[in-house]
Amino acid sequence: MSHSAFHYVDGVLHVEGVSAASLAEQFGTPLYVYSRDALTRAYHAYADACAGRRATVHVAVKANSNLAVLNVFARMGAGFDIVSSGELARVLAAGGKAENTVFSGVGKSAAEMREALEAGVKCFNVESIPELHALNEVAKSLGKKAPVSLRVNPDVDAKTHPYISTGLKSNKFGVAFKDARATYAQAHEMANLDVIGIDCHIGSQITEVSPYLDALDKLLELVEQIEADGMSIRHVDVGGGLGITYDDETPPDIGEFVKTLLDHIEKRGHGQREVYFEPGRSLVGNAGVLLTRIEFLKPGEEKNFAIVDAAMNDLARPAMYEAFHRIVPVVKRDEKAHKYDVVGPVCESGDWLGRDRELAIAPGDLLAICSAGAYGFVMSSNYNTRPRAAEIMVDGERARLVREREEVTQLFAGESILPD
């Protein structure tokens, strides 16, 4: 958790100036709560390190696409990184600009390409030769030139979870490094494409700088070859993926990280190019918590269970990645702690939020699941016909409802039964 925004006052967890207990009372649980201050500080860490350099920040929308969250970034002048036309619609609705938005993703449809071209996005990060051909055709049909960069797969091991490591030969993403030069030559020949950049993204939750520097070295070498072939590469997109502290990880300081990469690019003689950063988790992850209430405490022979009202449909990361999230009481008790597995009501053994946690708790108590601002609400589902949680933005002493809790009837409003 961002330590300035989430803190205890007289044994009660607060989000900025608001008690988490009062939020749960007012808005119910499960409840996602974000801190505007934490979002702002994380963004400034990137933006301030980019100030005076040829570098821009594009917020990865997939990490948290709530309109209020995106609007906080848009007001500070952020660019955005999207992976669907739905995300483009959110960026525009939140006050972001298409001309500051890059469109990534391995499977863009023709309809999505058309929508993005008509909106005027800054660049398409293209991931395959078939995609180049498809984009060229769509651009031709609109009488436009599509700005493109190729996502090159540098085959660098980011030393992260296999599901979120994206830069290896065995991953579905990007153009293979050995094919990149020839692919650029092909793109250059296509009449309705404007080749302007190069892109890579090696994974997520990366906690050291060295994989980035390894990838950059390979990328910059490739840029020199491409320019020798007669193309001009105006920007280098280094992707996102910087990790955060969930437990005891020690990722690099954001400002230091940005400075190290920009200095490295300059040292290699590429300081004239614009550099794009695409942070997601490192902006929003520790700016949010998920509040949940304990329904039952169930002692067992081998395990004690704390059964809460949040579940794998609300926060999928533990079930999906065995991800660790710190879990803390909203109101501290002066009693002996016991070891619990914190689990939800969904009918799956995989429905757990934390294992073997030392907690002093009683039924009805509130828990805060920390570091839930990234890949929390956005990955939530209606499994077991469970309405998705409400979302709250805290700004100083004020809390605003920025997404209403779903109603059960909304969940099947679009369905119909067969006629007699």
3-state secondary structure at position 7: strand
Q: Tell me the C-alpha distance between 288 and 281, whole Å.
A: 11
Length of the chain: 420
Q: Tell me the C-alpha distance between 47 and 56, whole Å.
A: 7
Catalytic status, residue 370: no
190: Cβ–Cβ under 8 A, 6 or more apart, which residues?
132, 133, 136
Of the listed 50, 123, 200, 347, which one is catalytic? 347
3-state secondary structure at position 321: helix
* DSSP characters over 297-354: EE--SS--EEEES--TTT--HHHHH-----EEESB--SS--EEEEEE-SSSSTT-EEE
Q: Any idea what DSSP says for residue 272?
A: T
Chain centroid to CA 250 = 19
Chain centroid to CA 244 = 11
3-state secondary structure at position 35: strand
Nearest CA-CA partner of 334 in 361, 307, 370: 361
Please list the active-site residues.
Answer: 347
